[in-house]
Amino acid sequence: MRLPERGRLFVGGVSPSTGDAELRSHFRRFGEVSDICLPKDSITGRPRCFAFVQFIRPSDAARALADPHHVIDGREVTHHLKKFSFA
């Protein structure tokens, strides 16, 4: 399995009510999480229902990827490697 670049995962299908704490709690079982980004719509301010989870070590992100089922706040979410960078 290819290691995630810089340990960052995209997580889709996140509930609008899910916050940083819930995501951090779920993903910390795979390793130390350094940052969570939960983008909001710039006009409405509503959650966009996806997140970026940044792990300290890329190997921990790979462990999270190896687990095919992630349920957060009762909702199954999707996850994959982040394939682009913030400018």
CATH number, domain at 38?
Answer: 3.30.70.330
In a domain, 13, yes or no: no
In a domain, 49, yes or no: yes
Which structural domain, as residue segments, surrounds residue 70?
18-81
Residue 36's pLDDT is: 96
- Phi, psi values for residue 51, rounded to 5°: -150, 165
Residue 84's pLDDT is: 43
Indicate whether 64 pLDDT > 80.
yes
Indicate whether 82 pLDDT > 90.
no
In a domain, 8, yes or no: no
b vs e for 4-41, b when ≥16 Cβ sit within 10 Å of the residue's Cβ?
beebbbbbeebeeebeeebbeebbeebbebeebebeee
Q: What is the mean pLDDT of residues 48-74?
A: 92
